[in-house]
Amino acid sequence: MGDSRGFVASIEASLAGAETRAHRTAVLLVGIDGPRRLQGWLEPAAIETLGHRAGCRIASCVQEEDGGTVVLLRADAFGVVLPRLRSGLQARAAANRILATLAGPFGPRIGIAIAPCDGRHALVLVRCAATALARARQGDRPTYRFYLRAFATSAASSSPLL
């Protein structure tokens, strides 16, 4: 796990490689509700441990099969880069694995953007994934949402991650 600059650099590297090999790149923003819900109930160190465990679980879902990168962006949000995708179905499968492994105390919501259809630059993809995450958080249960251009006409994420 790293910082937001490392996340953007990872997206840019994946985009550069995807263009030369005709692959797609997916950017997932994973928001977890666990740390926010538990503030005031647990010590900060325990909340940090909870976030670390969530990050480890997310990494186990994407690194082996998809070669993905996971970055802690905030205490309650992670960025995931999935390089070398053949289709959006692989991003959907990764999102389903993340939802399954974080079920229970974490309350995950996931926003997904895919290059090149949603954008060709890292910050554009992050913005699209943040908009999709805001849509996913409107529901009352863990889910994922792919970015749709129709979302762009509605309010974007109220709290930028980068």
Token pair belonging to 6: 């490392």
Residues of the chain with pLDDT under 70: 1-2, 18-21, 34-48, 63-66, 150-162
Residue 158 lies inside a defined structural domain of this protein:
no
Cα separation values, 154 from 13, 15, 19, 135, 157, Å: 30, 27, 30, 10, 10
Residue 162 included in any domain:
no
pLDDT for the residue 159: 46
Alpha-carbon distance values, 78 to 16, 18, 32, 52, 160 (Å): 22, 22, 8, 10, 13
Query: What is the predicted pLDDT for the residue at 38?
Result: 54
Which tens digit of pLDDT belongs to each residue from 140-154? 889 999 999 766 655
Q: Can you list the alpha helix ranges (DSSP code H) found in the chain?
A: 4-21, 34-38, 44-66, 88-102, 122-136
Q: Would 43 be classed as within a structural domain? A: yes
Asked whether residue 161 is assigned to any structural domain, the reply reads no
Decide if 64 is inside a domain. yes
- What is the C-alpha R_g of the chain? 15
Q: How far apart are CA 79 and CA 86, in angstroms?
A: 20
pLDDT at 128: 95
Domain residue limits at 73:
4-153
Asked whether residue 39 is domain-assigned, the answer is yes
In angstroms, the CA 128 to CA 146 distance is 9
Q: What is the pLDDT of residues 21-38, one digit of tens each?
A: 678 899 999 998 765 555
Residue 54: CB atoms within 10 A of its CB come to 25
For residue 11, being part of any structural domain is answered with: yes
Number of domains in the chain: 1
Note whether residue 57 is domain-resident.
yes
CATH number at residue 17: 3.30.70.270
The pLDDT assigned to 157 comes to: 46
* Phi–psi pair at 42, nearest 5 degrees: -120, 155
Q: Model-level pTM?
A: 0.84
Strands 143-146 and 109-115: parallel
State the greatest distance between any 2 C-alpha atoms of the chain, in Å, as a whole number: 50
